[in-house]
């Protein structure tokens, strides 16, 4: 089981709860993010997928009519306890799709932290 990469994060995270829909074997699941950044998200779940698993998932963002479709890879898992779940690293997100997604994450951070702290966290 990989350790939480708290000190290894290369992108600041916004604590935000967003609905995430994904498929596990033959069933569809709906869970919620605990935080999100430009590089990944943490999905709270009692049944995380194995590390290294690639998955397609959809994140529903407030004020965005259509959910965002993403591909991710399970980078680490948190065992049962206060916040069980899995850390997902976004993959296959390039060019214009990455720019659009990063702009949405920045908007979430702005809403969560306010303009001064969000700008500092985003390195602006």
Domain total in the chain = 1
The residue with tokens 């590390």 is 51
Q: What are the pLDDT digits (tens) for 40-60?
A: 899 999 889 999 999 989 888
Asked if residue 90 is part of any domain, the answer here is yes
In which domain, by residue range, is 109 found? 11-121
Q: Is the pLDDT of residue 7 over 60?
A: no
Whether 93 is covered by a domain: the verdict is yes
CA distances from 8 to 3, 12, 105, 124 (A): 10, 11, 19, 21
pLDDT exceeds 60 at position 104: yes
What CATH number did the domain enclosing 67 receive?
Answer: 2.40.10.220
User: How much is the pTM?
Assistant: 0.72
How does 97-106 read in b/e, with b if 16+ C-beta sit within 10 Å? eeeebbebbb
- How far is 99 from 124, CA to CA, in rounded Å? 16
């Amino acid at each position: 089981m990989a350790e939480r990469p708290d000190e290894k994060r290369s992108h600041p995270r916004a604590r935000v709860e967003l609905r995430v829909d994904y498929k596990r074997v033959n069933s569809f699941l709906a869970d919620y993010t605990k935080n999100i950044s430009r590089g990944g998200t943490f999905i709270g779940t009692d049944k995380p997928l194995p590390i290294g698993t690639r998955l397609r998932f959809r994140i529903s963002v407030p004020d965005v009519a259509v959910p965002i479709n993403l591909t991710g890879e399970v980078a680490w898992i948190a065992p049962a306890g206060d916040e069980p779940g899995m850390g997902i690293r976004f993959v296959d997100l390039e060019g214009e799709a990455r720019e659009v997604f990063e702009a949405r994450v920045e908007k979430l951070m702005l809403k969560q932290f306010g303009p001064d702290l969000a700008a500092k966290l985003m390195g602006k």
